[in-house]
Amino acid sequence: MKEKKWRIAYYQGGNSYAYYPYLAAVVKGLIDLGWIERIELPIIVDKDPKKLWSWLGQNIKSPYIEFPIDAFFNANWSNTTRIEVVNTILERLNKKKDIDLIIAMGTWAGKDLANNKHNTPTMVMSSTDPKNSGIIESNEDSGQDHLFARVDPNRWERQVRIFYNTIGFKKLGIAYEDSPLGKTYAAIDVIESLAKEKNFQIVRCFTKDDIPDKEQAGQSVVKCFENLAPQVDAIYVVIQQGVNSTTIPKLVSIANRYRIPTFSQQGSDEVKAGLLMSIAREGGFAPVGRFLAVSMAKILNGAKPRELNQIFEEAPTIALNLKTAEIIGLYLKAEILAAADEIYQDITIPTSN
């Protein structure tokens, strides 16, 4: 074991729903492995990763690792800020050299650090599709010795197949940003392939996502729902910053008014808030958090990130909102109800995110 503590850094392109629970789950995994003394993490209502990071830097006790408060970086979904932040990170990694491993949270961060401009061990987490977004060479090989990116290769296909098998739609609506990253986030390649296989039509509407103005992003999604709802018989609700606690009640209202079944790409939190269904995470973020914590421990103990297994597939469990099904007049077959692991009887207004 090395004499000095390993110092961890963190970089995200901007705030997103999954970043906080991912970070918290990894820390809990490190606690379970004995790398951090047992401690209860705080309840942070707005789930801001920066607040959690600051708390970690001040409160955890460990003979092995530390989370320097000044090693948290956020581009706030601004391309201008992104360039400045990445330059700052690279200068610190290459010149100051006081960081032993950096967490790249999300696709923006993964793309910014998946290069030969540094050689600091980098763990990419919560990226929608690391392979198709160009972060890694393949699901089995990151392509660079210092790089590791967790992947779940068939997650989006599992989602759309379950949605199709439940609803049997002929026209699937999808709102996403018309950009290379936007298409990756929305798993467009997967949906187009399934559309050919199952013979359904994709009806598209383009939103604004990777922008600093969260309100503008939200308005673009609401506008797309209003445009799509009269044209389609189902909507696949893509992860993007415009789908949030402010807009979800509006999106649910629009879909329910037109009696349109919806599927949340994000997960059961949005089903609880009124979208019809999703695939839930069995055990929440704990299983993937432990997988990432184990991987981090191996890296800090000398393993090359590239040598580690990147694939971690989560067990598919279905989340359903029965109140939404009632409102849109959808009859759910007994086998669908029997397969559901999370069932919500009412629509709950989401808390801030």
- The amino acid present at 311, given as its one-letter code, is I
CATH 3.40.50.2300 domain locations along the chain: 6-153+283-307, 155-281+315-344
Neighbour-count burial for 292-311, b at 16+ CB within 10 Å, e otherwise: bbebbbbbbeeeebbebebe
What's the CA gap between 224 and 221, in Å, rounded?
A: 5
The type of residue at 98 is D
Q: What is the CATH number of domain 6-153+283-307?
A: 3.40.50.2300
* Separation CA 222–CA 109 (nearest Å): 27
- Is the predicted pLDDT of residue 162 greater than 80, yes or no? yes
Looking at the DSSP bridge assignments, the partners of residue 101 are: 8
Question: 25 is written with which tokens?
Answer: 């789950």
Beta strands in the chain (DSSP E): 6-12, 65-66, 72-74, 101-105, 122-125, 147-149, 171-177, 201-207, 234-237, 262-264, 277-281, 316-321, 340-344
pLDDT of residue 16: 85
**Is it the case that residue 101 has pLDDT exceeding 90?**
yes
Tell me: the pLDDT tens digits for 3-30?
689 999 999 999 888 899 999 999 999 9
Radius of gyration for the chain, computed over Cα atoms and rounded to the nearest angstrom: 20
Burial class (CB in 10 A: 0-12, 13-18, 19+), 161: middle
Report which of 308, 312, 306, 296 is spatially closest to residue 67, judged by C-alpha positions.
296
| Mean pLDDT score, 295-302 | 96
Name the strand (E) or helix (H) holding 299.
helix 286-300
Q: Tell me: the pLDDT tens digits for 33-48?
A: 999 999 999 999 889 9
Architecture of domain 155-281+315-344: 3-Layer(aba) Sandwich (3.40)
Centre a 10 Å sphere on the Cβ of residue 2 and count the other Cβ atoms it contains.
10
pTM of structure: 0.83
